[in-house]
A and B are shown apart, each in its own frame.
Chain A
Amino acid sequence: MDKDSCQNFSLDSTSSSQFALPPVCNPKRKKPEKEETEKSAEETSPHCSNVITSSSTSSTTTISIGVFDSQCNLHNAPVPEAPNIGYELSVAKSILQKYSTLSGDNLFDHLSDIIKRVIDERPPNVIDFFEEFSRNVREQKFHLPERFPPSGVFEEVRTFRVAKRILQSMKLPYIIEGEDLLGEDMSGEDPRTNEELRIVIDDSMRYFVTFNERVQQLQFYWTQCGFSISNDDIFQLASAMNRLQTHPSIMQCRFWGCINGLKASYYIVEATLTREEVGSRLVMMEEEMREKQIPFKMRKDREDKPLPPHIGPELTPGIYGWEEYPAEELEKMRPKAVPVPLVEEIEFYDIPPELVGLGSNRYSYFVVNSLFDDWIELPIVTPRQMVVSRQIKKFLTGDLEADVISYPCFPGKEKHYLRTLIGRITASTYIAPVGYYRRMTKKEKRMFEGEEDDEGEEEEEEEEEEELNEGEEEQIEDNDVMLLKNEKYEAEPLGSLATPVAWVHVRSNILNIQGRVVWYDEEKARKEREKALALYLKMQMMAEMEEEQEEEEEEEEGEEEGEEEGMIEGFNQPEIGPSILSSCANDMNAEVPVPWLVRLTSKYTNQKERMLLMQSNIWPGAFTFIFEKTCESIYLGWGHKYYARNIPFKHLPMVQEEFPHHAEDFIEASDPTVEEEEAYKAWLLRKQQKDAYVAEDIEDYDDDEFDDQYDDD
C-alpha cells in the first residue's frame, strides 16, 4: 500500500502517507531520495506507522484515534535506549497527527499540504501572509472539484444568463434540423431586400444627414479625445443601432450619448422618423391637443355629468322625526340643507407641447439599458416637464417607469425626466465652428418639408396648415430650423478655433420660461378659448331656439374675423432666447465663470493629427470634438447640471397656504377652573328649576337653554 501511494506521489499530495514515513523510519538521512525511502519504508518501518497510515486514509475520526493511541502504546514496549532520535521523532509525529475532534483533520497533513503548495507555487513573501495562505490551503481542501459540488447538480454560471441574451439579440441564423434550406435562403434574403427598398425611399433625405452615424468610426475619435464608451460595447452598440435603423418607421439615427443611472445607465440614440410616421403621429397628436384646448365648460358639457349623490332626509336639519313619514313622501322630499360642496375644478391650460417633428420634439429618442435589449422610444416632451425639470436635480435609476419624487412635483415618470434632460443638454451643448453649418435655402426647405406628392390629401392639408403656423411664428423668431452642413466650410487651423468665440450653437435654444423652442402666445390662446366658448354658448342657445344652420355658419365666419382683430389687439411681447447659431462666447451662467473648456488631444507631440475638444462646464460630460471636417457632439455623464455649490431648490410653501388665517382666528383663553364649573352647574340647575316653575314648552326650553349658555359665555 505504501509503495502504491509513493508511486502516485505527484498526483496525490494530501494524504500524509508518503511524507509521513521517511523521517520516522530513516532518521539518520536528512533528505532521503524518493526511491530509497520506498525501500527503507518497507524494510524498517515499525508496525505503528502502518497503523497510522491506514488510519489517516480512513475518514472515521474518534474510533481511529482510539485505535491509534492504543496501538502506539502497545508498541511502546520494545523501546530502545534513552537518546533515540528515531523514537522521539515518531512520538513528535504522532503528536502532530492527532486528529481534531471538530474537523477530523490533523496538523501533520495540513503542514505537509502547505509545504507542498509553497514549493509548487512559490508565492512571493509567503511568510507575510502565512496565516492567509494556510487558511487558503485548508479551504481548498474542501473544494476538491471531483467531490464538490456533486456531479448531479450544475449551478448556472452567472455570466451564462447575459451571454444567452446577447446571443439572442443578435438573431443569428441558427441551422435548425429539419428545416428546408430553401426556406432559410428566403428568410435570409428578405431583410436584404427590405434594406434596399428602404434606402431607395430615403434617398431624398440622405441629403439632409448632417452627422456621422457610424459609431465605430466615431469611437476612434472619441478614444483619441479621452472619452468613450467601452471598447467591448462599441460593437454591440453598432449592431444595436443597426437593428434600430432597419425599423421601417425610422429614417436615420445617431448615437447621442450615455447617461449614468444608479442601477443601470442609458444608451441614447437620436432618431428622425420617416415622413409617414410623423404624419400619422401628427394626426393623433393634433386631435389630442385640440381636445385639450377646448374651453372647460364645453368639455364638461360633452362629458356625462355624474349623478348628484343621493341626499336623504336624514341630512336635512330642522325636520325631526322623518322616520314617521311614509317612504313615498320621503322620495319626493327635497333636502333643505346646503348642498354638499363638490370639488371645484379650476380651468387650467398647459402650454401645448410642440408637434412631433418640430421644435423640441423634432427628434425622437430611443434608449436602452443594456445594448442587447430592444430600443424603447421616449415620449415627447411637454413645456411643463421642461420647466419643472429645470428646478429639480435627481439621480436616474435606470428604470424608465420609476417615479420621480421631487418638489415641485414632476409631471411624469423617469422616462419623461430623461427626455427633458436630453432636450436640455442637446440645446445647450451642441456646438460647431462658425460656418460649419448653414441654414437651409428656401428650395431645400420646400424639399425637406413640402415634398408630399404621393401622400393623401388630408396629410397635405395638415402640412399646409403647419406651414402657415410656422410662417406666423417665423416672423417672431426663426429658431426652429434644421441646419445643413456647409459644403464650403474650410477646415480652420485648430489654433484659431481654440476659443469659444469661434463656436456657435447649432441646436435651437429652449425658452427659459415656456420650455418650448417656439414661443407660444398664451394670451392669444386664452382669447381664442374665450371666443370659442362664447360661440359655443351662442350655438347652444340657437340650438335651443332651433334656428337654421346657415346663420350659424355666418356666425362662424364672423368669429374668425374677430379672431384676427383680437390678435392684433392683444399682441404681447414674446419671450426671446438666444437664437440658433449664436456664439458660444455669449454663454452666460451665474454659476459657471468659464462655460467652455478647450483642450487639445495632444499637447506636445503629434501636432499633425491632433484634435480640438470643447468640454462644456455647464453640463459636465458634454463634449464636442473637431478634426478637420468632422465635428460631433456627445454626452457621457450623470445628467446633472453644474452648480457651484448646491442647486437652489424651491422651498415648500407655507403650511396651509390655501386657508389664510389671521391672529383673530386663534384667541387663546384659559380653561375654566373647577370653581367656575361648579358655579356654572349651580346656575344651570337654578335656571332649570325656574323654568320648570314657569312650565313652558319643553322644546322651547331646550333652545333657550342653549342660547343662554352661549350668551353667558
Chain B
Amino acid sequence: MNLEFFSEGLDCLMYCGMKLSPEQRILIENSLIALQNDNRFSGMYLWGRITATKNDYYIAFGYTSDCLKDRKYFYSLDQFQWQLLPFVQSPKIFQATILAREPFIGDPSMMSYVKLDPTFDIVGNQVAGISRPEVVKLKEEERLAAIVFIITEECAICPRGAFYKMTDGRVIPNQMFRGLNDLQIDNQSYYQLYRLPRNDLKHNLAKRNDYNYAIDFLDTIDGVIPLGQSFALNMQRNERLVIIKSCLWMGMTFFHKMNSHKHGFLYLGDGKKNFDLLFMY
C-alpha cells in the first residue's frame, strides 16, 4: 500500500478486520519515509505483515525507476529498522517454502529442515522409480523472501490503468489514472495482477475490445485459476469502495476507491496458502 495515503489506505483495508495499532502505524509510516529517503526510491509501499510466533515480520518495498522490475523488499521485526530481503533464486527454496508446515518463528537466522515431497519417475504411465524425499535446509530469512515473492506473484492486485508501460519498457504508475468508474468497478476483468506478466501480450490484449498497449500488458485476475474462485470481490462503504480478498492467500486484501487513483493491497496473515480452496466452494 502506497505510503502517500498511508492512514487513509489502512482505513479502507480495515474491512479485512485487521489493521495496525497506532504505535505500529506511526513507527512504520515514519521509518518508511526515512527508508525511502535513504534509498532514493520514487515509490515506497508497505507490503504487509507475516505473523510469526515470537515476533511479526513487517514487509515493505520500494522502487526507483521501474515499479515492476526493480522492486526492493525490506523486512523489519521491530517496525523501524528495515533490512533488505535476500533475493531467492533456488527453486528448492521455493518448494520448501510452500511445503513448510511450521509457522514462522520470528527469528530470521533460524534454520529449519523441510522434507520435500518424494518425486516419481514415470515411464509410460508406470511408476519406474521413487526417489527418497529430499530434505532441504531452510533459513527463515530465505523462507520469508520466498513467501513474499510467491504471495506478490499470485495475488497482488492493481486496477486496470494504474500502471503504464512507457515506450522504453519501463513500468511506472500512471499519473493520469483517475480510477475505475461505477460500471467497471465490480468487474474482475478490470483488475490486474501486480507482477511481470506471465501471459503472452497478445493474449492479454485480445481479452478486451478497448485494449491499450500501454495498460493492458498485465494479466487480469479473472484468468487466475481456479477461475472465479480465487478472489472475492465486495463493495463497501455505500458501494463506493471495492474490496478484493484473495481466497488462496487468506489475508491479502486489496482496496480501490471508485473514481479516485487510490488503491493498494496489504497482506496481514500467517504466510500459509489455502490448500483446501478447491473443496471450499
The yes or no answer to A379 lying at the interface (CB within 8 A) is no
Q: Does A593 contact B23, Cβ atoms closer than 8 Å?
A: no
Looking at the assembled complex, report how far the CB atom of A273 sits from the nearest CB atom of chain B, in whole angstroms: 28
- Cross-interface CB contact of B240 among A159, A224, A637, cutoff 8 Å: A159
Given A123-B175, A128-B175, A393-B280; A601-B21 close (CB under 8 Å): yes
For this complex, 12 residue pairs linking A to B, each with C-beta atoms less than 8 Å apart, are A132-B164, A132-B176, A136-B176, A226-B18, A226-B20, A227-B17, A227-B18, A230-B14, A592-B103, A602-B22, A605-B23, A640-B250
* Chain A interface mostly: loop
The yes or no answer to B239 lying at the interface (CB within 8 A) is yes
Looking at the assembled complex, report how far the CB atom of B33 sits from the nearest CB atom of chain A, in whole angstroms: 18
For the complex, give the distance between the alpha carbons of A230 and B243 in Å.
13
For the complex, give the distance between the alpha carbons of A132 and B215 in Å.
10
* Chain B 173-190 interface mask (CB, 8 Å, partner A; 1/0): 011100000100000000
Given A225-B21, A230-B237, A604-B23; A393-B174 close (CB under 8 Å): no
* Chain A 110-148 interface mask (CB, 8 Å, partner B; 1/0): 000000000000011110110111001000000000000
The yes or no answer to A260 lying at the interface (CB within 8 A) is yes
* Chain A 140-165 interface mask (CB, 8 Å, partner B; 1/0): 00000000000000000111001100
Give the nearest-CB partner of B23 in chain A. A602
Q: Kindly specify which of A182-190, A565-573, A642-650 makes contact with the partner chain.
A: A642-650
Give the nearest-CB partner of A226 in chain B. B21
Q: Does A128 contact B166, Cβ atoms closer than 8 Å?
A: yes
The yes or no answer to B126 lying at the interface (CB within 8 A) is no
Give the nearest-CB partner of B269 in chain A. A620
For the complex, give the distance between the alpha carbons of A132 and B103 in Å.
46
Looking at the assembled complex, report how far the CB atom of A266 sits from the nearest CB atom of chain B, in whole angstroms: 12
The yes or no answer to B119 lying at the interface (CB within 8 A) is no
Q: Does B280 contact A394, Cβ atoms closer than 8 Å?
A: yes
Q: Does A637 contact B17, Cβ atoms closer than 8 Å?
A: yes
Pairs A-B, 5 closest by C-beta atoms:
A636-B17, A226-B21, A646-B275, A644-B101, A594-B53
* Chain B 12-53 interface mask (CB, 8 Å, partner A; 1/0): 001111111111100100000000000000000000000101
A residues engaging B (CB < 8 A)?
A: 123-126, 128-129, 131-133, 136, 157-159, 162-163, 166, 223-232, 258, 260-265, 393-395, 406, 592-594, 597, 599, 601-606, 615, 617, 620-621, 636-638, 640, 642-647, 649
Give the nearest-CB partner of A125 in chain B. B175
- Cross-interface CB contact of B11 among A126, A225, A227, A230, cutoff 8 Å: A230
Q: Does A593 contact B237, Cβ atoms closer than 8 Å?
A: no
Given A131-B214, A594-B53, A597-B53; A644-B17 close (CB under 8 Å): no
Q: Does A593 contact B234, Cβ atoms closer than 8 Å?
A: no
* Chain B 259-281 interface mask (CB, 8 Å, partner A; 1/0): 00000000001101011100111
Measured between beta carbons, the chain B residues less than 8 angstroms from A223 are 19, 21-22
Measured between beta carbons, the chain B residues less than 8 angstroms from A406 are 279
Looking at the assembled complex, report how far the CB atom of B226 sits from the nearest CB atom of chain A, in whole angstroms: 12
- Cross-interface CB contact of A162 among B24, B239, B276, cutoff 8 Å: B239
Measured between beta carbons, the chain B residues less than 8 angstroms from A646 are 275-276
For the complex, give the distance between the alpha carbons of A450 and B192 in Å.
63
- Cross-interface CB contact of A129 among B15, B78, B101, B175, cutoff 8 Å: B175
Q: Does A617 contact B103, Cβ atoms closer than 8 Å?
A: yes
For the complex, give the distance between the alpha carbons of A621 and B16 in Å.
10
Measured between beta carbons, the chain A residues less than 8 angstroms from B269 are 620
For the complex, give the distance between the alpha carbons of A159 and B280 in Å.
32
Give the nearest-CB partner of B49 in chain A. A226
For the complex, give the distance between the alpha carbons of A132 and B27 in Å.
38
